[in-house]
Amino acid sequence: MFRKQTMIGRSQMGFYSLEDLVPQEHLLRHIDQYVDFEFIYDLVRDKYSLEHGRPSLDPVMLIKLPIIQYLFGIQSMRQTIKEIKVNVAYRWFLGLDFQDEVPHFTTFGKNYSRRFKDTDLFEQIFYRILDQVFEAKLVEPRLVYLDGTHIKAHANRHQFVNQEVAVEALIYQEALEKEINEVRVKAEKKPFKKSEEKDVKNTKVSTTDCDSGWFHKGEHKEVFAYSAQVACDTHGWVLGYTADRGNLHDSRTFFDLYAKLIEKFPEIDTVVADAGYKTPAIAKKLIDDGRTGLFPYTRPRGKKELFRKRDFIYDYVNHTYTCPNGKQLIYKTTRRDGYQEYRTTKANCATCPFLAQCTSSQNKQKTVFRHIWQLYLDKIEQNRLTTWGKITYKRRKETIERLFGTAKEHHNLRYTHENGRDKMHMKLGLTFACLNMKKLAKIMANRDRGKAGIFNFWMIFKVIGYQKAQIA
């Protein structure tokens, strides 16, 4: 039968409690039950005065505001406050009743700039929540997956200035220069003098967010962006993160995140990363620390019609290369970037039948470059050829890649409305804390549900057994 809905319900009155209106299976109920936020009071105690000033908002509620934003992928704090006003689950989570006034959308921003700026509060929040995951014995930090992703900055790509900026020195620059000079002295060549002038490069600097970096997104599009370096364990728990400019290569940003990870989790023994981290310096760092590295196969570069570098066999004893024609490439020099040059003679190459397949050099000489730390990379390269290496590396798509997909699709991490590296670091910390607490809450809820099911089954079995005994 046709039925028309009346609007009488709009004007009805009743007595309700927020506790009754929030579904029992709501995510925020699980988070409130299994995640303890009391530690926030201890973290911010020195940021408040107990004797002076106006009464403040509850610090836990203040931190929960951006947690709601990042947990449910709301675009801005302004929109988050609008959602809280009408969403009873959000009010319940914050401890607000129907009559309580929702804080203004600028409240968190003012507290950040005046109270929490230049602090590691949000990083501490991330690690405190991670500690709760450890207490539940859900993390296995011995093997970590590491990768980076780019997040579009809140900056117009047409508003920039061209500036000459100093190139940041590599973290391992001193060790590399020392070893280069040792190699050169051994080869009876003059050591390099330490350059007093810093290298500079011309780059685009955003006038909106100068902390972001010019990033080539694909073949045609260029934007200002940030680079987020993230590490997770084999179950997808986020273990650490860093925020950097988008124009920095992964091989440069690796060391900051790696240092954080080792400090927090010294039990790490295996690091799995993609081809962007496959460098001699990273391989040397892992081996020197007694850890295992796992990197993928990388396709050879250069013209397809020419011989690949693998076609030239290196002699570890005599330190020479042998070309496909059986001729030797002799060591010539070591460059400032750590690469050694091995060259043939013009006499051998001029009459070589493979010259067209070997080099397109007008001098008719083949040059092969080898890094002084290449041996470390060769050792790590053997790991990917093992059965363990093949199985372990495939799990990247189930761990770190899935984590990035979830964060960008459901937690608004494709781009940011925040300006500045510090705010970006805060956003990453709270976003990954939300990912961990959401996962923790769901696992613990399912675990308790399973325990309840087993208990109910046991009680039913016991009652049936009792009834059979009475009948007998």
Q: What is the pTM of this model?
A: 0.87
* CA 358 – CA 253 distance, rounded (Å): 36
Identify the pLDDT of residue 455: 47
Q: How far is CA 37 from CA 20, 34, 62, 430, in A?
A: 23, 10, 12, 13
Identify the pLDDT of residue 220: 66
Per the CB < 8 A criterion, the answer to whether 274 and 147 are in contact is: yes
**What is the sign, positive or negative, of the torsion defined by CA atoms of 302, 306, 311, 316?**
negative
What are the residue boundaries of the structural domains of the chain, listed by start?
Answer: 16-119, 309-373
- How confident is the prediction along the chain (472 residues), in pLDDT tens digits per residue? 667 767 777 777 777 788 888 999 999 999 999 999 999 999 988 888 777 767 778 899 999 999 999 999 999 999 999 999 999 999 999 999 888 899 999 988 888 888 888 889 999 999 999 999 999 999 999 999 999 999 999 999 899 999 887 777 788 888 888 888 888 888 888 888 877 667 778 889 999 999 999 988 776 688 999 999 999 999 999 999 999 999 998 989 999 999 999 999 999 999 999 999 999 999 999 999 999 999 999 888 878 888 888 889 999 888 889 998 888 899 999 998 899 999 988 888 888 888 888 888 888 888 899 999 999 999 999 999 999 999 999 999 999 999 999 999 999 999 999 899 999 999 999 999 999 999 999 999 998 887 655 545 444 544 455 454 555 5
